[in-house]
Amino acid sequence: MGSHRRSPASPRALTGQGARVTVLSAAFATAATTLAAAPAGAAPPDSPDRARAEVRRLYTEAERATQAYNGAGEKAKALRTALARTQDRMARTQDQVNALREALAPIAGAQYRSGGLDPALMLLLSADPDGYLDQATTLDRMGVVGGQRLRGLRHARRTLDQERREADALLGELERSRRTLARHKDTVRQRLARAKTLLAALPEGERALDARASRSGRPDPGLPLTGAAASPHAAAALATARTALGSPYVWGANGPSRFDCSGLVQWSYARAGVGLPRTSQAQAGAGRRIPLSEARPGDLVVYRADASHIGLYAGGGRVIHAPYPGAPVRYDPVGMMPISSVTRV
C-alpha cells in the first residue's frame, strides 16, 4: 500500500468531491481591479501640502492593494488545502486500484490455464484498460466475486481519473492565484516606494503626515461617547487591540507585533476566540450591520466606499486602528474619513 499525503485541518479549508474554491467578494474584486497606476516618472508636487496630499493618495491605493493581496493570499491558502486533500484522495484511490488488480490476477491466471483469456487478464495486459473496460460486456465467466472486483476496478479507475482532473484544475488555479498575489505585491511596493520618495524630498520639518490633521478628525455627533461593549468577545477583542497600541503598521501583517488594518482586527478577535476573514471587505460582512449611532466598543467601523480600511470602535468617539506606514497602531477620531458601514460581530 502506498503512503498517503495528509492535509492539515483548517477552518477555511475547502471540502467536497469537487474541491470548490471560495470566490472573492465582488467588492474586493472591484477594488482590486480599479487601482490606478501612478506614472513612474511623475513630476514631484510643487508644495509640501500637495506632496502630503499625494502621499495620502498613494497610501490609500497601497491599502487597497494590500487588501487585494490579503484576499489573494487567503485564496491561495485555500487552494493549497484543497489540492493536498485531492492528492490524498488520489493516493488512496491508487492503492485501491493496485489492490483490486492484485486480487484479480490469480482469477485471470487460473482461467487462462483452463483454456482462455479471461476478461480480467486482458484488462491487466491491455495498453488501454479504460477502453477495454468500456467494451467488456460479460463478466459471468469470472464468477460473482471476480465480477464484483472487476466492476470495482473500473469504478476506482474512473474515480482516479476524475481526481487527477481536479488536481490539474487546482494546480492551474493556484498558479493564477500566485500571479495575482505577485501583481498586488508589486502594486503595494510601488505605491509605498513613491510615497517614501516624496516624503524624503520634503524639508525635515515638513515630513510628518498626521492623519488627524489631514482628515476631518471630528467624531460623529450622533455617536454615544460611553457605553459597554456589545458582547464579552467584543470587549475581549478591544482589550487585545489596546495591547497593540504603538505597534508598527506593516502591510500584509496580522500580528502579533506588526499589523495592517484588517490584520489588527482579525488578530484581536482571534485572541477573543472569534475567527474573522482576512480582508476588510470580508470583515465588513462578517456580522450584523448596525447604524453608526448604535456603535458600541468592539464594533467594526469600515471606511471608504470600497471598504478598504477598518478599525475597532473604542468608545468615546474614537477608533483604534493601524493607519498607514510610519504611523503605529493608535486611537483616532471615528470620523477621520468617510464611514461606509458599522458591523457588530
Q: Domains, the chain, ranges and CATH? A: 48-201 (1.10.287), 222-344 (3.90.1720.10)
What pLDDT, in 10s, does the model give residues 82-136?
A: 999 999 999 999 988 888 877 766 665 555 555 555 555 555 545 555 555 544 5
pLDDT at 53 over 60: yes
What pLDDT, in 10s, does the model give residues 269-304?
A: 999 999 999 999 999 999 999 999 999 999 999 999
pLDDT at 166 over 90: yes
Name the one residue in this structure whose C-alpha cell is 493581496. Answer: 69
Tell me the pLDDT band of 151, cut-offs 50, 70 and 90.
confident
* Set of cell numbers at residue 33: 481591479
* Predicted pLDDT at 150: 75
User: Is 233 among the catalytic positions?
Assistant: no
* Predicted pLDDT at 143: 52
pLDDT at 138 over 90: no
Alpha helices in 127-251 (DSSP H): 129-135, 143-201, 211-214, 232-243
Overall average pLDDT of the 311-331 stretch: 94
User: Is 261 among the catalytic positions?
Assistant: yes
* Predicted pLDDT at 152: 82
Alpha helices in the chain (DSSP H): 26-33, 48-113, 119-125, 129-135, 143-201, 211-214, 232-243, 261-271, 280-284
pLDDT at 235 over 50: yes
CA distances in angstroms from 171 to 166, 175, 204, listed in the order given: 9, 6, 50
Tell me the pLDDT band of 49, cut-offs 50, 70 and 90.
confident
If residue 312 lies in a helix (H) or strand (E), which one and from where to where? strand 309-315
| Residue 76 CB partners (closer than 8 Å, separation 6+) | 174, 177, 178, 181
User: Rounded CA gap, 7 and 86, in Å?
Assistant: 9
What pLDDT, in 10s, does the model give residues 243-266?
A: 999 999 999 999 999 999 999 999
User: Rounded CA gap, 177 and 35, in Å?
Assistant: 18
What pLDDT, in 10s, does the model give residues 202-219?
A: 888 777 775 443 343 444
| Active-site entry in 4, 184, 233, 309 | 309
The dihedral built from the CA positions of residue 48, 53, 54 and 59, taken in this order, carries a sign that is positive
Percent of the chain with pLDDT over 70: 69
Closest to 314 (Cα-Cα) out of 274, 264, 279: 264
> Which is more confidently placed, 299 or 4?
299
* Predicted pLDDT at 21: 39
* Predicted pLDDT at 140: 44
